[in-house]
Copies of this chain bind each other. A is one copy, B any other.
Amino acid sequence: MAFMIAQRAYIKLYLISMVEQRRGYGYQMLEELKEEFKPFGYVPPQSEIYRALHELVQEGVLYRTKHLKGNDPSVDFQEIVLYHFTDDGLEKAELYKKQVKVDLDRCIGMLNKAVADNY
């Protein structure tokens, strides 16, 4: 059992939720998460977001589609990669989330215990 939850798992959790809701692409999700965690002084590194997304693809949870960002190719040629759940992706994702939940609770317990024990 590792000491704390890994950053990777933490980020995957958010990515799954974001794919559940809107159709997002990496860079945008990165920017959203940066904003989200600003109050905590935590800046999720770009590489971790992409690594997490690639892992989720590797694990058969997500698949990728390429699109142009704007609707009019003459205006915007920027390619982006959208992520969607595979056939059994949602199922796998929910299972993963359950496992992470257990770990989150464990970590919260240990941190709260440290506060109770040492202050």
| Residues of chain A at the chain B interface (Cβ within 8 Å) | 1, 3-5, 7, 10, 13-14, 16-17, 37, 40-43, 97, 101, 104-115, 117-119
Residue of B nearest to A11 (CB): B3
CA distance A104 to B104 in the complex (A): 14
Are A106 and B41 within 8 A (Cβ)? yes
Are A111 and B5 within 8 A (Cβ)? yes
Question: A108 with B106: in contact, given A3-B7, A97-B119 (CB under 8 Å)?
Answer: no
Are A97 and B118 within 8 A (Cβ)? yes
The 8 Å CB contact of A112, one of B3, B101, B108, is B108
User: Which of A14, A37, A112, A114 neighbours the largest number of chain B CB atoms within 10 Å of its CB?
Assistant: A114
CA distance A10 to B107 in the complex (A): 12
